[in-house]
Structure 1
Amino acid sequence: MCGIAGIVRADGGIEEEEIVAMRDTLSHRGPDDAGCHLTPDRRVALGHRRLSIIDLSSLGHQPMSNETGTIWIVYNGEVYNFPALRAQLAPTHRFRSRSDTEVLLHAYEEWGIDFLERLRGMFAFALWDGRQRRLLLARDRLGIKPLYYGQIGDDFLFASELKAITRRFPSLPLDESALYDFLTYLYIPTPKTPYRDVRKLPAGHYLLWEEGKTTLAPYWELTCRPGGITREEEAVEGLEHLLDEAVHLRLVSDVPLGLLLSGGVDSSGVTALACRHLQEKGGKVHTFSVGFDEAAFTETPYARIVAERYGTEHVEQHVDLALGRQIYARLHAMYDEPFGDTSAIPTFLVSEVARRHVTVVLSGDGGDEVFGGYTRYGEMLEASGPLPVGRLLGPAGRSRIIRGFLGHYPARWRGRYRFLRALLDPLEAYCMLMGGILKEEKAFLLRPEVVRRFRDYDDYWFFRQHWIEDLDPLTRLQYLDLKTYLPDDILTKVDRASMAVSLEVRVPILDHEVVEFVFSLPVAVRNPGNRPKYLLKRMLAPFLPERILARRKQGFAIPLSRWAAGGMLETSGGEIPFLQPQPPKGANRSEFAILLDALLRGWFAEHAPSSGG
């Protein structure tokens, strides 16, 4: 895994120190090597920080060029089918290294932009084609690896993290709508960032820069239409073949490799499949897990069961309020933008623990989205039926009732969601289940003038883009999460937390061939009766104890209520151009409202030099 950055300036004049400064803000992503390349006319500069995983020699140094020096690449990620691609290219191309980076260069030479469709892995890269004078940016299908870009003045810039761009331009105007969106989704949705001039490259897309003009286009789309398999046994066999292959491909490494093991079905399944291959080679397999000082939030006993079954060298770390507060204080610097998923705290901790022993780990991320594991799916499906009462009341009447309810009933009243659900459209209800704040509750956090500016704003525009009515209800929710929550929350969380300690995380469940196979199956086969992870559990039955397969989903949540009561979310208030002067208080304010307000205040204090309208 690595960090990449670059500048394109049509009139030239780029100085080496400009790209070096951007590049070295990403040193945590690549502590092993650093390089940069300026074209002779100084119109293009590429920077790279390397975490050496495959071909540790200097031949893997980046930026890397083809034999003639006309095409250059900076690349972050791993393409797992690179040996097969190399074999196809070998008759007509000369290779100098064993790296997958060089395979990408020659694949582009051979197949042009269409080579993206041949890649199997996680990646974000920039490729400068000096012959055609164009820059190609691309991001993997599911959004495992990040890539930011923007046109700022005379410069077109890109980088793995926002901090590299704000290092070059520290006083960018804010995108107030992105900060407002954060209160809805708990993250800033793609393509937005906190800054008007900087965007996120969407998953499964590429961008071409030519003569100052950019073209953004998708190269992959998930098709959610049942194919030919209708028998459960055939589906189980097909899934085992593809998932086992995906795990096996991700075990290739020239540095020590281990497994993140939470004790849930997904990570336990990946561990079981990986151990079959790793233990054939001999030696110990390392597994890592993190728990809390509150038993209701800890899965470590289940992780131990799997570790003992497969004889792994298991390492545990427990986090308490004091340690949680230390990590919480680092989140703003780690994520560069407001980010509301507090499981970033244990994710960082388990990454830090793993990095003491290995450089690469496999994880079970993506299992809930791919196999239908979230409990909120069941809650949404149970509530589907008649139109919400809110549509009958009209917008004004509905808002009056919600405001009155929020002002009088405590946030911890168990009937809060069920009462409000009758007033909400499906997208509103789904956001609320995920912790997002309704428009009516935002009014308690935001300044009155901000509330007025967003009165007619569509809070759910992001979900609406990916809400496909003609899919069955369960698949509709899974597809929505794959397009939104997965790349912008889960994978963002894992990338920043792991790369902060220079750890590469590989996610075999998100192999696109596995994802395509699962979504080609009828719901009656993969989730009969909407049973969570039914197909995955059937496949894993020979490999995992029934105690693991039968347990209820727990998730990677922190004891937020107790930690908040312990002062973790305390803020100083003050004049911040967006929020009310003082943080929200009282029993009527939801836990998430208090959390998101605290995170926004912390981000403004650290990152926001100016405001935008």
Structure 2
Amino acid sequence: MCGIAGIVGPLASDFRLAQMLETQIHRGPDNLGKWVTEGQIALGHNRLSILDLSEAANQPFQSTDGRYQLVFNGEIYNYLEIRKKLESNFTFRTQSDTEVLLFAYIQWGEACLQQFNGMFSFAIWDTLEKKLFAARDRFGVKPFHYAFFQDSILFSSEINPLWKAGISKKPKDSVWAGFFVKGTYGQPDETFWEGIHQLPSGHFLTFQGSNLQIKPWYDFIGNLSKQPEVNPSEMEEFILDLLLDSVKLRFRADVPVGFNLSGGLDSSTLLALVSDLFPGNEQIEAFTFFTGDERYDEIYWVKEMLKGRPYPLNTCLLQPSEVPDLTSQISRLQAEPFGGIPTLAYSKVFKSAREKGILVLLDGQGSDEAWAGYDYYLKNSVSLVQGVNTSPVMPQALVEEFAGQFEGSSYPTPFADSLLNLQYRDLFYTKIPRALRFNDRVSMAFSTELREPFLDYRLVEYIFSRPVEFKIKDGQQKWLLRKIASRFLGDQIALAPKRPLQTPQREWLGAELSDWVEAQLQLLTSKTNWFDSKNVMAIWDRYKKGEQDNSFYLWQWVNTAELLK
């Protein structure tokens, strides 16, 4: 996992590219590479060495004949299997997945994307055709941002490098309005900033001359009808094999690997699978955070799960006094709103892992969307927030003219089944894109790589395509996953109801952090014309009196104030 950046057009220069790379150096401190033809093309790379640690695998990576230049962020987990398909036609100089990716593109063109099981965003420059080809993985685990400026296209792994290159920092009011009115984060190609776009997940782009084309390459819906026919009596074993293979692939690395644990079903199952594959490996370390508040902390359950297993546990304490400085630090790197104090707690996990020399962590992201794990799936609700009874947003605090800029949030409904449509929305438009955005930026802030075994496309497609009775049975969500997990875990864990990952955010904001919150709210209303300041302060007064059951909207405001500084 790394950082990539590039410029195609008259703005291409060594100096501007170097500024962009320096801005995201935390993504790859091991090597900074550039390939520049002034006024035409500039490609850059921040390397975090995970596979083939030699200098031969540094990027930009050039084809043997010099025609192609590649910059690549992510991992191709099945690179060894693809390499075997290519060895008869190519001579390999490295042991890296980077070289496999480039040769796969030379061999198959854009069809190479169908071969990859991984998380990736990359760009290839064809020096003969003067053409840029870039692509992003199926679920958008790895980011790709781009902008047009002075007859050039600029791209990078994060937003800050584009600002550094000269793109103005101007809020996109329609996206911000949607965020405050409905809690949305824009469409798959949008960011919170005017002129800065995302390449949507499962898409590729080409840029030649002044012609930009963006096309989908991943046909999730089409693939659902191509799933293998498995006898119901053998389905459990088939899924377990997929899970084990997904974990095994994601342990491919030339650096130490660990995992992020909570006390829930997903990470417990992940722990069980790791134990099954690597039963005596004491080099695999576990990490978890806690706040010292027993109402929310899951450290007891984490320790129970680790009993009898050889994996050392690293615990990371988050205290309320740390929140203001951490919010400032993480907001600068995120450059867009993020989920709340749990993201700050995660930052301590990644920092701890880096300090221990663990550069790769696995976690359980992606299970709820495929296996129907959220409470609102049972209610057939359009909710976007788990575990909240009242509206999580406060549009009444907004100035009417600003709120009216929200253009509405409509999502495709390609299925006859409403549950499938909710799952599809969460996979490609709401939950997963948002969580992956937070997770990439907070892990890379500390030069660590995060891998998600539950987002292996083979697993997601197969589980998604199963009838509802395999996902929800007798009111029990993620039923088949629980059944599989019960082989390894006690029923106390395997059958426990889902608990949202939480911290004492609601309590801290209204008590220990109330002075800081009030200062942030004053800053927010003075920096923008989006809010009715009297309404904001009235809502804040009620919050301090304990009249609200969630802090989602309050975190929105506090976080936004930090982002607009």
TM-score for the superposition, normalised by structure 1: 0.84
Q: CA RMSD in A?
A: 2.3
Closer, same or farther: CA 347–189 of 1 in aligned 2, 3 Å: farther
Q: Provide the residue aligned with 2:161 in structure 1.
A: 164
User: Residue 596 of structure 1: CA displacement?
Assistant: 1.6
Q: Deviations over 1:401-433 (max 9, x none)?
A: xxxxxxxxxxxxxxxxxxxxxxxxx54xx1466
Q: Could you tell me which residue of structure 1 aligns to residue 193 of structure 2?
A: 195
What code does the residue aligned with 2:507 have?
R
Residue in 2 that maps onto 1:126: 123
- Structure 2 match to 1:375: 375
1:569 alignment partner in structure 2: 517
Structure 2 counterpart of 1:554: 499
Q: Tell me the equivalent position of 1:29.
A: 27
1:5 corresponds in structure 2 to 5
Aligned equivalent of 2:426, options 456, 475, 481:
481
Match of 2:114 in 1: 117
Alignment of 1:76-95 (within 5 A): 76-95=73-92
TM alignment of 1:342-353, pairs within 5 A? 342-353=341-352
In structure 1, the residue matched to 2:353 is 354
Structure 2: how far apart are the matches of 1:376 and 1:440? 17
Comparing 194-203 with 315-324, which one deviates more in the overlay?
315-324
Q: Is 1:602 aligned to residue 550 of structure 2?
A: no
Distance in structure 2 (CA, Å) of the matches to 1:530 and 1:77: 38
Q: Which amino acid aligns with 2:195?
A: D
Mapped contact 2:362–2:452 kept (Cα < 8 A): yes
CA contact (8 A) 1:186 1:435 kept: no
Q: Deviations over 1:265-318 (max 9, x none)?
A: 1111112212222335x4442111111221111111111112113221111122
Partner residue, 2:272: 272
State how far apart, in whole Å, the 1-side matches of 2:271 and 2:385 are. 33
What is residue 17 of structure 1 aligned with on the other side?
Answer: 15
Q: Distance between the aligned counterparts of 1:202 and 1:303, measured in 2?
A: 36
From 152, 177, 180, the equivalent of 1:180 is 177
Query: Could you tell me the percent identity over the aligned residues?
Result: 29
Question: Residue in 1 aligned with 2:412?
Answer: 466
In 2, distance between residues paired with 1:433 and 1:310?
Answer: 32
Superimposed CA distance per residue, residues 455-492 of structure 1 (whole angstroms, 9 cap, x where no aligned partner): xx5432xxx22334x33232222111101223432111
Greater mean alpha carbon deviation, residues 24-33 or residues 265-274:
265-274
* Displacement of 1:186: 5.1
Partner residue of 1:313?
312
**Deviation, structure 1 residue 46:** 0.5
Unaligned runs of 5+ in 2: none
Question: What does the per-residue CA deviation read over 1:474-522, in whole Å, with 9 as the maximum and x for residues that have no partner?
Answer: 2222111101223432111111111110110111110001111112222
- Match in the other structure for 2:62: 65
- The amino acid of 1:599's aligned partner reads N
The secondary structure found in structure 2 opposite 1:272 is helix
Give, in angstroms, the shift of residue 440 of structure 1.
9.7
Task: Tell me the residue number matched to 1:331.
Answer: 330
Q: Which residue number corresponds to residue 478 of structure 2? A: 533
Match of 1:449 among 398, 401, 418: 401
Assess, with a 3 A threshold, how the Cα gap between structure 1 residues 226 and 579 changes in structure 2: closer, same or farther.
Answer: same
Q: Contact 2:287–2:353 at 8 Å: present in 1 too?
A: yes
Question: 2: distance between equivalents of 1:551 and 1:374?
Answer: 14
Letter in 2 for 1:331: I
Q: Does 1:593 align with 2:553?
A: yes
Relative to structure 1, the CA distance from residue 349 to residue 288 in structure 2 (aligned partners, 3 Å threshold; closer, same or farther) is same
Distance 1:266 1:80 in 2: 21
User: Which amino acid is the alignment partner of residue 508 of structure 2?
Assistant: W
Secondary structure at the aligned position of 1:55 is classed as: coil
2:8 match: secondary structure:
strand
Q: For residue 204 of structure 1, report the CA deviation from its aligned partner.
A: 0.7
Residues 556-590 of structure 1: CA deviation (Å, up to 9, x unaligned): 22212211112253313324233334644232776
Asked if 2 retains the 8 angstrom alpha-carbon contact of 1:38 and 1:46, the reply is: yes
1:447 and 1:77 mapped to 2: Cα distance? 42
Q: 1:240 to 1:351 in 2, by over 3 A?
A: same
Per-residue deviation, 1:547? 1.9
Classify the secondary structure of the residue corresponding to 2:234: helix
Measure the CA separation in 2 of the matches of 1:140 and 1:232. 31
- Structure 2 matches for 1:143-162, cutoff 5 A? 143-162=140-159
SS of residue matched to 1:480: helix
Is the alpha carbon distance of 1:181 and 1:327 closer, same or farther for their aligned partners in structure 2, counting shifts above 3 Å? Answer: same
- How many residue pairs align between the two structures? 546
Query: What is the correspondence of 1:509-528 to structure 2 with a 5 Å cutoff?
Result: 509-528=454-473
CA distance in 2: counterparts of 1:486 and 1:450, whole angstroms: 25
Opposite residue 271 of structure 1, the aligned amino acid is: L
CA distance in 1: counterparts of 2:167 and 2:343, whole angstroms: 25
Which moves more between the two structures, 570-579 or 47-56?
570-579
Tell me what 2:254 maps to: 254
1:100 corresponds to which residue?
Answer: 97
Range moving further from structure 2, 98-107 or 478-487: 478-487
Residue 126 of structure 1 aligns to a residue whose secondary structure is: strand
The CA deviation at 1:555 is: 2.1
Q: Which has the higher contact order (CA 8 A, sep 6+)?
A: 1
- The CA distance in 1 between the partners of 2:554 and 2:184, in whole Å, is 12
Q: Distance in 2 between matches of 1:481 and 1:265?
A: 19
Residue by residue, what CA displacement relative to the aligned partner does 1:185-244 show, whole Å, maximum 9, x if unpaired? Answer: 253442211222111111111111111111111111323559565754322111001110
Q: Equivalent residue for 2:449? A: 504
Counterpart residue identity of residue 299, structure 1 = E
Q: Distance in 2 between matches of 1:15 and 1:164?
A: 14
* Alignment-derived partner of residue 48 in structure 2: 51
The whole-number CA distance in structure 2 between the counterparts of 1:255 and 1:439 is 41
